[in-house]
Protein backbone atom coordinates (compact mmCIF):
# COMPACT_ATOMS: atom_id res chain seq x y z
CA UNK A 1 0.00 0.00 0.00
CA UNK A 2 1.94 3.06 -1.22
CA UNK A 3 2.01 6.40 0.57
CA UNK A 4 0.15 9.03 -1.44
CA UNK A 5 -0.32 12.79 -1.42
CA UNK A 6 -3.57 14.63 -0.77
CA UNK A 7 -4.17 15.32 -4.47
CA UNK A 8 -3.54 11.64 -5.24
CA UNK A 9 -6.01 10.73 -2.50
CA UNK A 10 -8.63 12.90 -4.19
CA UNK A 11 -7.96 11.12 -7.47
CA UNK A 12 -8.17 7.74 -5.74
CA UNK A 13 -11.51 8.61 -4.14
CA UNK A 14 -12.96 9.85 -7.42
CA UNK A 15 -11.91 6.67 -9.21
CA UNK A 16 -13.34 4.49 -6.43
CA UNK A 17 -16.66 6.36 -6.44
CA UNK A 18 -16.93 6.17 -10.24
CA UNK A 19 -16.11 2.47 -10.28
CA UNK A 20 -18.73 1.69 -7.64
CA UNK A 21 -21.55 3.88 -8.99
CA UNK A 22 -22.07 4.67 -12.66
CA UNK A 23 -24.22 7.66 -11.67
CA UNK A 24 -21.05 9.48 -10.60
CA UNK A 25 -19.80 11.80 -13.34
CA UNK A 26 -16.95 14.30 -13.28
CA UNK A 27 -16.78 17.53 -15.20
CA UNK A 28 -15.25 20.98 -15.01
CA UNK A 29 -12.47 23.13 -16.37
CA UNK A 30 -9.71 21.03 -18.01
CA UNK A 31 -10.56 17.95 -15.93
CA UNK A 32 -10.70 15.48 -18.83
CA UNK A 33 -7.91 15.79 -21.38
CA UNK A 34 -5.47 17.61 -19.08
CA UNK A 35 -6.50 15.86 -15.85
CA UNK A 36 -7.19 19.10 -13.99
CA UNK A 37 -4.97 22.08 -13.29
CA UNK A 38 -3.47 20.22 -10.29
CA UNK A 39 -3.91 16.76 -11.91
CA UNK A 40 -6.57 15.68 -9.43
CA UNK A 41 -8.54 13.98 -12.23
CA UNK A 42 -5.56 12.58 -14.12
CA UNK A 43 -6.32 9.25 -15.79
CA UNK A 44 -10.07 9.32 -15.20
CA UNK A 45 -10.91 10.06 -18.84
CA UNK A 46 -8.93 7.06 -20.06
CA UNK A 47 -10.52 4.79 -17.48
CA UNK A 48 -14.16 5.92 -17.58
CA UNK A 49 -14.53 7.53 -20.98
CA UNK A 50 -15.85 10.85 -22.32
CA UNK A 51 -19.45 10.19 -21.29
CA UNK A 52 -18.48 10.35 -17.61
CA UNK A 53 -15.46 12.69 -17.61
CA UNK A 54 -16.10 15.92 -19.49
CA UNK A 55 -14.32 19.20 -20.10
CA UNK A 56 -16.64 22.18 -19.83
CA UNK A 57 -16.41 25.75 -21.14
CA UNK A 58 -14.78 28.28 -18.83
CA UNK A 59 -18.16 29.24 -17.46
CA UNK A 60 -18.57 28.43 -13.80
CA UNK A 61 -22.21 29.42 -13.67
CA UNK A 62 -22.92 27.15 -16.61
CA UNK A 63 -21.43 23.96 -15.23
CA UNK A 64 -22.68 24.64 -11.70
CA UNK A 65 -26.15 24.83 -13.20
CA UNK A 66 -25.45 21.65 -15.15
CA UNK A 67 -24.50 19.95 -11.87
CA UNK A 68 -27.78 21.00 -10.25
CA UNK A 69 -29.78 19.77 -13.23
CA UNK A 70 -28.22 16.35 -13.56
CA UNK A 71 -28.21 15.86 -9.77
CA UNK A 72 -31.95 16.47 -9.74
CA UNK A 73 -32.31 13.77 -12.39
CA UNK A 74 -30.53 11.08 -10.39
CA UNK A 75 -26.87 11.51 -11.26
CA UNK A 76 -24.14 12.28 -8.72
CA UNK A 77 -22.02 14.96 -10.39
CA UNK A 78 -18.64 16.10 -9.12
CA UNK A 79 -17.75 19.47 -10.62
CA UNK A 80 -14.25 20.91 -10.34
CA UNK A 81 -13.47 24.61 -10.29
CA UNK A 82 -9.87 25.48 -11.10
CA UNK A 83 -9.59 27.77 -8.05
CA UNK A 84 -11.94 28.86 -5.31
CA UNK A 85 -11.76 32.43 -6.57
CA UNK A 86 -13.54 31.28 -9.72
CA UNK A 87 -16.55 29.95 -7.78
CA UNK A 88 -18.21 33.34 -7.40
CA UNK A 89 -20.00 33.20 -10.77
CA UNK A 90 -21.57 29.94 -9.57
CA UNK A 91 -23.10 31.47 -6.43
CA UNK A 92 -26.46 31.98 -8.14
CA UNK A 93 -26.76 28.24 -8.78
CA UNK A 94 -25.39 27.28 -5.36
CA UNK A 95 -27.52 29.64 -3.29
CA UNK A 96 -30.74 29.82 -5.29
CA UNK A 97 -30.98 26.26 -6.55
CA UNK A 98 -28.60 23.63 -5.08
CA UNK A 99 -29.21 24.69 -1.48
CA UNK A 100 -32.97 25.08 -1.93
CA UNK A 101 -33.96 22.12 -4.10
CA UNK A 102 -34.89 19.74 -1.27
CA UNK A 103 -36.95 22.41 0.48
CA UNK A 104 -38.47 23.74 -2.74
CA UNK A 105 -39.82 20.30 -3.68
CA UNK A 106 -40.69 19.34 -0.08
CA UNK A 107 -38.20 16.46 -0.27
CA UNK A 108 -39.39 15.13 -3.62
CA UNK A 109 -36.03 15.98 -5.19
CA UNK A 110 -32.55 16.07 -3.69
CA UNK A 111 -29.37 17.56 -5.07
CA UNK A 112 -26.50 15.09 -4.53
CA UNK A 113 -23.69 17.11 -6.09
CA UNK A 114 -20.14 17.90 -5.02
CA UNK A 115 -18.46 21.15 -6.00
CA UNK A 116 -14.69 20.75 -5.60
CA UNK A 117 -12.15 23.58 -5.59
CA UNK A 118 -8.51 24.09 -4.61
CA UNK A 119 -8.42 26.91 -2.09
CA UNK A 120 -6.14 28.97 0.12
CA UNK A 121 -2.66 30.38 -0.31
CA UNK A 122 0.83 29.07 -0.07
CA UNK A 123 1.79 28.44 -3.71
CA UNK A 124 2.59 32.04 -4.74
CA UNK A 125 -0.36 32.25 -7.08
CA UNK A 126 -1.67 35.57 -8.47
CA UNK A 127 -4.89 37.36 -7.59
CA UNK A 128 -8.11 35.26 -7.59
CA UNK A 129 -6.06 32.10 -6.99
CA UNK A 130 -5.54 32.18 -3.20
CA UNK A 131 -8.93 32.93 -1.68
CA UNK A 132 -10.27 31.42 1.55
CA UNK A 133 -13.89 32.47 1.80
CA UNK A 134 -15.27 29.22 3.19
CA UNK A 135 -17.53 31.23 5.52
CA UNK A 136 -19.43 32.51 2.48
CA UNK A 137 -20.57 29.00 1.56
CA UNK A 138 -21.11 28.02 5.21
CA UNK A 139 -23.67 30.82 5.43
CA UNK A 140 -25.84 29.26 2.70
CA UNK A 141 -28.68 27.08 4.08
CA UNK A 142 -28.77 23.58 2.60
CA UNK A 143 -25.06 23.46 1.73
CA UNK A 144 -22.48 21.27 3.44
CA UNK A 145 -18.92 22.64 3.58
CA UNK A 146 -16.08 20.13 3.98
CA UNK A 147 -12.34 20.82 4.21
CA UNK A 148 -9.83 17.91 4.39
CA UNK A 149 -6.46 18.31 6.10
CA UNK A 150 -4.60 15.12 5.14
CA UNK A 151 -4.53 12.49 2.38
CA UNK A 152 -6.52 9.96 4.42
CA UNK A 153 -9.07 12.57 5.42
CA UNK A 154 -9.42 13.74 1.81
CA UNK A 155 -10.07 10.19 0.58
CA UNK A 156 -12.68 9.35 3.20
CA UNK A 157 -14.46 12.71 3.29
CA UNK A 158 -14.70 12.96 -0.50
CA UNK A 159 -16.26 9.50 -0.74
CA UNK A 160 -18.80 10.44 1.92
CA UNK A 161 -19.50 13.76 0.19
CA UNK A 162 -20.19 12.02 -3.13
CA UNK A 163 -22.51 9.52 -1.43
CA UNK A 164 -24.41 12.22 0.49
CA UNK A 165 -27.89 13.04 -0.85
CA UNK A 166 -27.39 16.80 -0.48
CA UNK A 167 -25.00 19.36 -2.01
CA UNK A 168 -21.45 19.56 -0.69
CA UNK A 169 -18.82 22.24 -1.29
CA UNK A 170 -15.52 20.37 -0.95
CA UNK A 171 -12.55 22.69 -0.49
CA UNK A 172 -9.06 21.26 -0.95
CA UNK A 173 -6.15 23.22 0.57
CA UNK A 174 -3.81 23.47 -2.39
CA UNK A 175 -0.83 24.10 -0.09
CA UNK A 176 -1.32 20.54 1.17
CA UNK A 177 -1.76 18.89 -2.23
CA UNK A 178 1.81 17.57 -2.30
CA UNK A 179 3.07 18.65 1.13
CA UNK A 180 3.13 15.20 2.71
CA UNK A 181 2.46 11.55 1.99
CA UNK A 182 0.34 9.15 3.99
CA UNK A 183 -0.68 5.53 3.74
CA UNK A 184 -4.24 5.49 2.45
CA UNK A 185 -5.94 2.14 1.83
CA UNK A 186 -8.25 2.17 -1.18
CA UNK A 187 -10.96 0.31 0.70
CA UNK A 188 -13.91 2.55 -0.15
CA UNK A 189 -14.46 3.51 3.49
CA UNK A 190 -15.94 6.95 3.89
CA UNK A 191 -15.02 9.24 6.77
CA UNK A 192 -17.86 10.61 8.91
CA UNK A 193 -19.23 13.97 7.88
CA UNK A 194 -20.58 16.57 10.31
CA UNK A 195 -18.07 15.86 13.05
CA UNK A 196 -14.80 17.28 14.28
CA UNK A 197 -11.70 15.15 14.78
CA UNK A 198 -9.57 15.43 17.90
CA UNK A 199 -6.03 15.13 16.55
CA UNK A 200 -4.23 15.57 19.84
CA UNK A 201 -5.65 15.35 23.38
CA UNK A 202 -4.93 18.04 25.94
CA UNK A 203 -6.12 19.49 29.21
CA UNK A 204 -4.89 23.11 29.30
CA UNK A 205 -5.91 24.70 26.02
CA UNK A 206 -8.08 23.95 22.98
CA UNK A 207 -6.80 24.80 19.49
CA UNK A 208 -9.56 24.71 16.86
CA UNK A 209 -8.59 24.77 13.19
CA UNK A 210 -9.15 23.21 9.74
CA UNK A 211 -7.55 22.71 6.35
CA UNK A 212 -3.99 23.82 5.74
CA UNK A 213 -3.69 25.45 9.16
CA UNK A 214 -3.80 22.06 10.88
CA UNK A 215 -0.06 21.63 10.25
CA UNK A 216 0.98 24.89 11.92
CA UNK A 217 -1.48 24.29 14.76
CA UNK A 218 -0.03 20.85 15.49
CA UNK A 219 3.47 22.36 15.42
CA UNK A 220 2.34 24.96 17.94
CA UNK A 221 0.85 22.26 20.16
CA UNK A 222 4.15 20.40 20.15
CA UNK A 223 6.01 23.58 21.11
CA UNK A 224 3.53 24.23 23.92
CA UNK A 225 4.01 20.69 25.17
CA UNK A 226 7.70 21.41 25.63
CA UNK A 227 6.65 24.38 27.78
CA UNK A 228 4.44 22.20 29.95
CA UNK A 229 1.14 23.19 28.29
CA UNK A 230 -1.07 20.33 27.06
CA UNK A 231 -2.97 21.65 24.05
CA UNK A 232 -5.88 19.75 22.52
CA UNK A 233 -6.04 20.13 18.72
CA UNK A 234 -9.39 19.86 16.93
CA UNK A 235 -9.70 19.55 13.15
CA UNK A 236 -13.19 20.87 12.33
CA UNK A 237 -13.23 19.11 8.90
CA UNK A 238 -16.96 19.75 8.27
CA UNK A 239 -17.61 23.43 8.81
CA UNK A 240 -21.30 23.22 7.98
CA UNK A 241 -23.06 21.67 9.82
CA UNK A 242 -20.65 22.33 12.67
CA UNK A 243 -20.03 19.70 15.33
CA UNK A 244 -20.33 22.12 18.23
CA UNK A 245 -20.53 19.35 20.83
CA UNK A 246 -16.92 18.22 20.32
CA UNK A 247 -15.63 21.77 20.65
CA UNK A 248 -17.73 22.51 23.73
CA UNK A 249 -16.63 19.27 25.39
CA UNK A 250 -13.00 20.19 24.83
CA UNK A 251 -13.39 23.73 26.17
CA UNK A 252 -15.28 22.41 29.20
CA UNK A 253 -12.12 20.48 29.96
CA UNK A 254 -9.48 23.11 29.11
CA UNK A 255 -11.23 26.43 29.77
CA UNK A 256 -9.31 28.17 26.99
CA UNK A 257 -9.67 28.29 23.21
CA UNK A 258 -7.70 29.63 20.25
CA UNK A 259 -9.32 29.42 16.81
CA UNK A 260 -6.95 29.37 13.84
CA UNK A 261 -7.84 29.93 10.19
CA UNK A 262 -6.19 31.33 7.08
CA UNK A 263 -9.18 33.39 5.90
CA UNK A 264 -9.43 37.07 6.78
CA UNK A 265 -10.40 37.75 10.39
CA UNK A 266 -13.59 39.77 9.97
CA UNK A 267 -16.65 37.53 9.51
CA UNK A 268 -14.40 34.51 9.08
CA UNK A 269 -15.77 31.15 10.18
CA UNK A 270 -13.81 31.43 13.41
CA UNK A 271 -16.31 34.07 14.47
CA UNK A 272 -19.09 31.46 14.28
CA UNK A 273 -17.09 29.08 16.47
CA UNK A 274 -16.45 31.89 18.97
CA UNK A 275 -20.15 32.85 18.99
CA UNK A 276 -21.20 29.29 19.79
CA UNK A 277 -18.71 29.18 22.64
CA UNK A 278 -20.21 32.42 23.95
CA UNK A 279 -23.74 30.99 23.63
CA UNK A 280 -23.19 27.58 25.17
CA UNK A 281 -19.73 27.48 26.77
CA UNK A 282 -19.35 30.85 28.44
CA UNK A 283 -19.23 29.55 31.99
CA UNK A 284 -16.57 26.99 31.08
CA UNK A 285 -14.19 29.65 29.78
CA UNK A 286 -11.37 30.82 32.01
CA UNK A 287 -10.07 33.30 29.43
CA UNK A 288 -11.34 35.17 26.37
CA UNK A 289 -11.59 33.26 23.10
CA UNK A 290 -8.81 34.27 20.71
CA UNK A 291 -8.79 34.11 16.91
CA UNK A 292 -5.59 33.85 14.88
CA UNK A 293 -6.40 34.53 11.24
CA UNK A 294 -5.40 36.19 8.01
CA UNK A 295 -5.41 39.95 7.76
CA UNK A 296 -8.36 41.95 6.44
CA UNK A 297 -6.76 42.51 3.08
CA UNK A 298 -6.28 40.76 -0.24
CA UNK A 299 -3.63 38.06 -0.12
CA UNK A 300 -0.38 39.92 -0.97
CA UNK A 301 1.38 38.34 -3.94
CA UNK A 302 3.96 36.93 -3.97
CA UNK A 303 6.60 37.98 -1.46
CA UNK A 304 4.34 38.89 1.45
CA UNK A 305 2.11 35.81 1.15
CA UNK A 306 3.77 34.04 4.04
CA UNK A 307 3.26 37.07 6.28
CA UNK A 308 -0.44 36.99 5.53
CA UNK A 309 -0.98 33.39 6.57
CA UNK A 310 -0.88 32.70 10.32
CA UNK A 311 2.31 30.98 11.38
CA UNK A 312 3.24 28.97 14.42
CA UNK A 313 4.63 32.08 16.10
CA UNK A 314 1.25 33.86 16.03
CA UNK A 315 -0.55 30.77 17.33
CA UNK A 316 1.95 30.43 20.15
CA UNK A 317 1.62 34.09 21.09
CA UNK A 318 -2.16 33.77 21.37
CA UNK A 319 -1.90 30.52 23.35
CA UNK A 320 0.68 31.89 25.77
CA UNK A 321 -1.45 34.97 26.33
CA UNK A 322 -4.43 32.81 27.33
CA UNK A 323 -2.30 30.75 29.70
CA UNK A 324 -1.56 33.92 31.69
CA UNK A 325 -5.18 33.99 32.84
CA UNK A 326 -5.61 32.23 36.18
* 113 and 204 assigned to the same domain: no
User: What DSSP designation does 95 have?
Assistant: I
Asked whether the predicted pLDDT for residue 2 surpasses 80, the reply is no
Report pLDDT for 240: 98
Asked whether the predicted pLDDT for residue 52 surpasses 70, the reply is yes
Higher-scoring residue by pLDDT: 122, 273:
273
* 38 and 174 assigned to the same domain: yes
Asked whether the predicted pLDDT for residue 142 surpasses 90, the reply is yes
Report the CATH number that the domain containing residue 288 is assigned in CATH.
3.40.50.920
- Tally of domains in the chain: 2
* 201 and 179 assigned to the same domain: no
Query: Is 42 exposed, middle or buried (CB count within 10 Å of its CB: 0-12, 13-18, 19+)?
Result: middle
Catalytic: 97?
A: no
Q: Rounded to an integer, what distance in angstroms lies between the CA atom of residue 82 and that of residue 139? A: 22
* 169 and 277 assigned to the same domain: no
**Is residue 189 one of the residues assigned to a domain?**
no
Average pLDDT of the chain? 96
**238 near 195, Cβ under 8 Å?**
yes
* 101 and 164 assigned to the same domain: yes
* 138 and 222 assigned to the same domain: no
* 218 and 171 assigned to the same domain: no
Q: Provide, rounded to the nearest whole percent, the portion of the chain with pLDDT above 70.
A: 100
Q: Rounded to an integer, what distance in angstroms lies between the CA atom of residue 32 and that of residue 295? A: 37
Name the catalytic one among 97, 129, 139, 261: 129
Report the CATH number that the domain containing residue 64 is assigned in CATH.
3.40.50.970
**Is residue 131 one of the residues assigned to a domain?**
yes
Report pLDDT for 203: 98
Nearest-10 Cα torsion for 242, 245, 249, 252: 90
Closest CA to 255 of 222, 293, 290, 283: 283
Report pLDDT for 166: 96
Higher-scoring residue by pLDDT: 242, 128:
242
Give residue 270's pLDDT band: very low, low, confident or very high (50, 70, 90): very high
Amino acid sequence: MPDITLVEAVNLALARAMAEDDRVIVFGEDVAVDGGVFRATDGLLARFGPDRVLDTPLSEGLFAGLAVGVAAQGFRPVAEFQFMGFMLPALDQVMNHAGRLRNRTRGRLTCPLVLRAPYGGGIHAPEHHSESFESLFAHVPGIRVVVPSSPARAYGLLLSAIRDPDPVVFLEPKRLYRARRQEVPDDGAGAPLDRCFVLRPGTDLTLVTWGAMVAETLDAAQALDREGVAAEVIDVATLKPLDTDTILASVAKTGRCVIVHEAALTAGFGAEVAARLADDGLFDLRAPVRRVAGWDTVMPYPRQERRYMPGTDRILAAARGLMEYA
